[in-house]
Each structure stands twice: as C-alpha cells, then as structure tokens.
Structure 1
Amino acid sequence: MPEGGFGIYLHWPFCQAKCPYCDFNSHVVATVDDDAWASAFEAELDRIADLTGGRVLNSVFFGGGTPSLMKVSTVERILDRIAKHWRLANDLEVTLEANPTSIEADRFAGYRKAGVNRVSVGVQALDDKDLKALGRLHSVAEALTAVDVARSTFDRVSFDLIYARQHQDVASWRKELTQALSFDPDHLSLYQLTIEDGTAFGDRFKRGTLKGLPDEDVAADLWDVTQELCVEAELPAYEVSNHAKIGQESRHNQIYWASGDWAGIGPGAHGRLTLDGVRFETIGARAPAAWLERVKATGSGDVSKSAMNEKDVLSERILMGLRMRDGIELPSSWIDENRKNINVLADLGLLYQTHRTLRVTQSGRPVLNAIIAKLLAN
C-alpha cells in the first residue's frame, strides 16, 4: 500500500439545486430511495473490502452533491459497515460536506453520533447579492448560523469561499475574508472561481454574457491578499487552495495529494487502488440510476478499472503532489532526466529543489499549472 494512506470516498449525487458554476456530478431529483442507496453503498463496501481487507483506514469522506441531505440512518449504516471491514486509524477522519440550507441541529447531532467527526460547509460567499449570482439558496445570515451549528456539534469544521467572482475588487474581498477569519476557523478552502465547460457559467461565458470577471492582474492581487490575510491569521496555505491551523489539515485530501490509495464509491466517483503491486484507476457509472442498477445487476458500480503504467503514476504524483506546500520526493532518475526544465523553473524563482524533493515557491503557486506543464513536457 502506498505511503500516502488509505481512504474511502462516497459520492452522494443529489442536490436541492444545480449551481451555475458547478461541474461536479450532481443532480436535482424529487425523491430519493434512501434505503436502496444505503444498500448499494453497503454492497460496494463489501466488494472493496474483499480487495483491501486488512488495511488501516485513515479517512472517510462523504462528498457530492449535498451529503447533508442524507438521512442519518443512511450515514449510520455506511459507517457501521466500514467499521466491520477495516482497521480504523486512531485518528480516523470522517468528513461530511454540507450546504447551509440543509444544516439542522438535530440531524447534525445524529451524524456525530453515527461517527462523523468533521464537517465542511459550503458557504461560498459572505455577500447576499453574490450568493444569488452563484445560484446559492442560502443567505449570509443562514450561512453563519449553519457554521455556528456545525461548530457547536463537531470539533473540526471547515468552510469554503469562492473569490475572483463577478465585479469583485480587492477591497471587497479583503473585507469579506477578514470577516471570515474573525470567526477563528481551523480550516478554510478558498477557491478562485473557474469557468468550466458544461456549466451554466461556461455557456454564458461562451456567449459573452458573463460580465465582470476580474482580469489576470486583479485575480493575482486577490490571490496575494488571500495569502497575506491567512498567514496573519495563522492559517497558512498547506495546499494551493486550502489553509489550516497546524494539525487541522484535511487528512483525506492529503491522501489524494500524497498519492495514497482511496476507494471511490458512488456515481462518477474516481478511485485509486494498489493491488498486488499494480496501481489501478477506477471510475463509477456517472448517472445515478445507472450506477444503482449496475451495483444490483453486476455487483459493481464501476464502469472502468484500468492499470496505470509507471509514467502515468509518476505524472499524477507530480500533478497532485506539487499542490502541497511541502512538495514531493521524486526518483533521482526522473530528476536527472528533467534537469533542464527544473533548472529553468528554479532560475525563475518558481521551483525549489532539495536533493530529491521539489516544491513550488510562493511566487510559483499562482502559475502552478504552467509549472506542471513544463515539468511534464518530456
């Protein structure tokens, strides 16, 4: 098993509404058969356990969609089945993503009793006009109440904000982020708005009707303010978009970035499993109904399980690992083969090398994608 650890990701694909910027596999439906979904998740956990039994489980992550729409009994069944199959790490992290509109004190108390010990709240903005533009169903007041409920229930709470939004300037973002930091959060995920193909924002952008997006210079200034304020608040970036107090980093996401193993369970979920020395990529059927039917009919919701070659494994390790503040250790042979590109990036002040470890500098982080493209050009 890779040194990065072992986790389980479970994808709950249902939402109350589809946000215009979202390219995740999420769906709005009238009703959900929770019992059928719980049974399917249990069946998939049984299957994965046959492949990975005996491993120590470091994390469980309920993502989506909106997992906080799940019944407490569904979460409880899933976590009970997990506990039967794997040895649980003493510091097992069990995270559930939540939207402010679906946060209820009683339900959250139930999640905690079931075994959830960390919640990530999708606040996204502290401006009511911008929340509406982002397609969010909650107000700022509801979001702050939701964070309070989460913090009163769980020891570990994170929340998300999106910046580089339409018509946003540096002064307004500084004020908004300062307000967020005044709540003394342990963890913040701060994402620059990206316009993805296949989303409502993507369609508007192509038609030229998505107005007020910041240009590159303003986006760079917004990035600088983000780093400045978070460092002052002792929430440094441990990854490009994630900030945390020491010891409050997301253990589950670190499995991804450190090239650990994780089982991806649910519609469209991706996984990485090392079995008999071979690393496999797995992909679940994307449509919820199709995934559910595949689990019932074939015993597996996956539509793909492919072995990754050595080059693919290393490329992915670079792609994910350089996102981390501490960088990654790479084979000496690869460093020797790519010495020219490494030196060019180092001379530009974008990359730092110590023996076999590469890490992106502070000034390199805003152009991380270009750095990775340069390193993988050979």
Structure 2
Amino acid sequence: MTPTGPDHPTRDAGFGVYLHWPFCAAKCPYCDFNSHVRHAGVDEPRFLEAFRAEIAHTAAQTPGRVVTSVFLGGGTPSLMRPETVAGLLDAVAAHWSVAPDAEITLEANPSSVEAGRFRGYRAAGVNRVSLGVQALDDASLRSLGRLHDSAEAFAAIRVAQAAFERTSFDLIYARPRQTPAQWRAELTEAIDRAAEHLSLYQLTIEPGTPFYGLAAAGKLVPPDEETGRALYDVTQEVCAAAGLPAYEISNHARPGAEARHNLLYWRYGEYAGIGPGAHGRLVTGGGRVGTVTERAPEAWLARVEAEGHGVVEMEALAPGDQADEFLVMGLRLAEGIDPARYAALKGRPIDVARLEPLVADGLIARLPGGRIAATPRGAPVLNALVAELAA
C-alpha cells in the first residue's frame, strides 16, 4: 500500500501545493510573513525557472499524487504577470495529476488589482481569489500601512467578483481603539459585499515588526482582553446570523464555500511547500516529514539554481509530534477531529481522564460519529484545551 493509501492517517485530506511568491510593494507594519520589497524589480522569468525546478524535485518525492488544491500566497502574488502565474500552474500540472475540480487560489492586494490582469489569472487557471482588504475605513487602512484606500478596496472586490465565481477577503479586527459597535457596523458592511467567504483575524503584535516596537513604547495600545473577547463574540454572532458561520476559528463561509486548501491544512493533509520560506508536510517512504525552504528570496534562488531545490530542512516527524500537530490544527475546525485518527497517529487514544472534564465543563463537545470539537465557549481558550489533551 502506498503512503497515501487507505491505511494511512492522511488518507482523506487531499494533496495540496503551496506556492510562495515573497515580494510586496511595501511591508506592512504588523506583518511578520516572509515578504520582501524589491524596488529594482523582480526577474520573474528567472524565479519561474527556479519554481519549476523545485516543483520537479518535490514531485519526484511524491509520485502518484492528485492535486486537490493550489494556493499562491505571499507576499503579493497579484504583483506577478499573468504569464508567470500560468507558468507556475503549468509546472504543477506537468508533474502531478490535477483534479478536475481542484481549487486554485491566488492572494491579491486591492492596490494591485486590475481587471485585465484578473482576466489573465482566470485564463491561467486561477478559479478563486482572496483579497487582503484588512479594513473598510481609510483611517484604519493608513494605520495598518496599507497602500489602498476603501474606494480601491470596494472596487477590487467588484472586479474580483466579476472575474471569479469564488472570492474571499480578509479583515483585521481588535485594532487600537476599535469598539464592538464600530466592528459590528464594519463587519455588517463587509458581509453585504462578500459573496461567500470572509477571513477575520484579530490583530496580533508580532516580535520583530514595527508594531511590536510601537507597542513596547506605549505608542500603540491594542484592545484589552475583555474588549478583545467582546469583538470576537460580535464576529461570531454577526457572521452566523448572516449565514456565514465560522467553520474555523478565523474563517467564515456559506455552507459549501469553505476554502478547500486551508481545510487541507486544518485536516492535517499532505501539502508541498514551494518557493522562498515555504513549509510543507509530505508523506514519504520513511513516514511524514516537515520541509522548510531557504527564506531569503535571492539565497533561495541561488540554492535552487545550484542544487535543484531550496529545501534547508527535512525533518522526520515522530508519531507524538504528528498527533499534536493534528490536534492543534483540527480543533480549530467547527467539525472538530476524529479521535480514532489521533490514536492512529499517536499510537494511543486520547486520555479519557483528561477529555471528560473538558466535556463536563462545556469546553469540548461530542459530535455525531464520535468526533469531538471545541464548543463556542472553548474556542477562545483553544491553546489551553490542546495543552490538556496532548499531555
């Protein structure tokens, strides 16, 4: 039986390909992603050849897979020319079989949205776009360091929805001085404009970012814990009432419109990470491994040109580590996890003596079919639940 056959715990979650385009027009002050500004421009044909080489290298390790989703993330993939996107997707299709209904998502920033370019992406094979809107008022957009204003954001949403059947956009909440009433109004407006999917993230102050320095100096004060919880509760309430319930802690969709590539992550499926700083989880003959590529774009490029790939780490994951990752990812989902799959990864079942008190306290729910999930009361303290169950 192959490593992805019916006897392997990753059997039903699919196989995805993540392509990381690391370049942005500007670096946002809250962002700790692997994104870089290159004012002199980017040699797209040279980078495309390197992506092709790394795709070929990864495909040789994962023969026979059927790609169920591709995600072009970043950075700002919408800065790429449509022919570069076409070249990337053609390379994926040249080395793996691609399912006829595969979800092909491209991230875009409103400031880089052009109707002609979007038509080019659609012709290249992209069938879903995720827009980094982040806020719907100009003052908040300026404070977040975004290059677009609200008018550009609304125009980008219209262009995306005209070009693609499936669209989503992101918003950041729990911004400094934001009140629950303000967020309720903004979120209601967002839902009026969203067709099927919203990603709603609480602002986090990440080490190494300009926001971190401002927060340390007392010049940026995010909402306190009580207000943050109130903002989270508003998010759940407003989205659920509008028919976009949370299927994952930060993601809301109409039934059937969930992001399939992201579901693959949360269901602990198998995915190739291609491009500078990309992470992957692959099942090889020796078991499940975690991969990491060289983070700096030019260093990744040089490594790929010299060695055929940019992988700098390939770590065999112990059964306990796999089970813990599965727990961390899966309990973010409203559908929860199958404890039998956890036991298959871990080599032993979840400790009932640790699970039952969480069920009794209303933090974990038992679902039909034997699955377990965090309740609405348990979701905000998910880290504590995971720590308890993984102990």
- 1:159 matched to 2:172? The reply is no
The whole-number CA distance in structure 2 between the counterparts of 1:255 and 1:337 is 22
For residues 96-145 of structure 1, the C-alpha deviation after alignment (integer angstroms, 9 at most, x for no partner) is: 00000000111110000000000000000011101100000110010000
How far residue 49 of structure 1 moved from its aligned partner, in angstroms, is: 1.6
- What does residue 141 of structure 2 align with? 131
Q: Residue 115 of structure 2 aligns with which residue? A: 105
Structure 2 residue 53 is matched with structure 1 residue 43: yes
Partner of 2:7: none
Secondary structure (helix, strand or coil) at the match of 1:81 reads helix
Kept in 1, the 8 Å contact 2:291–2:313? The answer is: yes
Alignment counterpart, residue 353 of structure 2, candidates 328, 340, 344: 340
Matches within 5 A, 1:293-308: 293-308=302-317
Match status 1:268 vs 2:277: yes
Q: Which is worse superposed, 70-79 or 326-335?
A: 326-335
- The answer on 1:120 being equivalent to 2:130 is yes
Instruction: Tell me by how many angstroms 1:89 deviates.
Output: 1.1
SS of the aligned residue for 1:78 comes to helix
Q: How does 1:297-336 map to 2 (within 5 A)?
A: 297-331=306-340
Deviation at 1:344, TM superposition (A): 2.2
> Corresponding residue for 2:101?
91
Distance 1:71 1:347, change over 3 A: same
The two structures have a TM-score, normalised by structure 2, of 0.94
Is the deviation greater in 95-104 or in 361-370?
361-370
- 1:364 paired residue among 371, 378, 391: 378
1:184 and 1:20 mapped to 2: Cα distance? 26
State the match for 1:25 in structure 2.
34
Which of 253, 256, 259 is the matching residue for 2:265? 256
Question: What CA distance in whole angstroms lies between the structure 1 residues aligned with 2:285 and 2:380?
Answer: 38
Partner Cα separation in structure 2 for residue 85 and residue 292 of structure 1: 20
Q: Does 1:221 align with 2:230?
A: yes
Aligned to 1:6: 15
C-alpha distance in structure 2 between counterparts of 1:337 and 1:283, whole Å = 29
- Deviation of 1:66 after TM superposition, in Å, equals 0.4
Give the distance between the partners of 1:361 and 1:17, measured in 2 at CA.
Answer: 39
Distance in 2 between residues matched to 1:208 and 1:4, nearest whole Å:
44
Per-residue Cα deviation, 1:1-25 (whole angstroms, up to 9, x for no partner) = 2221100000000001111111100
How many pairs align? Answer: 376
Deviation at 1:208, TM superposition (A): 2.1
Output the amino acid matched with 1:324.
L
Q: In structure 2, what is the equivalent of residue 350 of structure 1? A: 363
SS in 1 for 2:31: coil
- Check conservation: 2:270, 2:281, Cα contact below 8 A: yes
> In the TM superposition, what is the alpha-carbon distance from 1:185 to its structure 2 partner?
2.2
Give a deviation string over 1:172-226, Cα, whole Å, max 9, x none: 1011001111124200000011111111111222222213x21111111111111
Instruction: Give the superposition deviation at 1:53.
Output: 2.4
Residue 70, structure 1, aligned to residue 80, structure 2: yes
In structure 1, what is the Cα distance between the partners aligned to 2:95 and 2:45? 20
Confirm whether residue 187 of structure 1 aligns to residue 197 of structure 2: yes
Q: Counterpart of 1:286?
A: 295
How far off its partner does 1:330 sit?
Answer: 2.1
The 8 Å contact of residues 339 and 350 in structure 2, kept in 1 or not, is answered as no
Aligned partners of 1:367, 1:140: CA distance in 2, in Å? 33
CA contact (8 A) 2:168 2:194 kept: no
Instruction: Report deviation, 1:298.
Output: 1.1
CA distance in structure 1 between the partners assigned to 2:194 and 2:275 by the alignment: 34
Distance 2:169 2:378 in 1: 25
Q: How many angstroms apart in 2 are the aligned matches of 1:140 and 1:59?
A: 31
The aligned counterpart of 1:374 is 388
For 1:223, the aligned partner's letter is Y
Distance 1:346 1:83, change over 3 A: same
Distance 1:347 1:247 in 2: 32
Give 1:150's aligned residue. 160
Give me the TM-score of the superposition, normalised by structure 1.
0.97
Contact 2:18 2:72 in 1 (8 A): yes
**Equivalent in the alignment of 2:239:** 230
SS of the residue corresponding to residue 132 of structure 2 reads strand
Q: Structure 1 counterpart of 2:190, which letter?
A: A
Deviations 1:276-313 (A, max 9, x none): 25000000001111110110011111101111010010
Partner SS state of residue 193, structure 2: coil
Most deviating of 147-156 and 80-89: 80-89
CA distance in 2, matches of 1:330, 1:90: 31
Aligned amino acid, residue 70 of structure 2: V
Shift of 1:356: 4.7
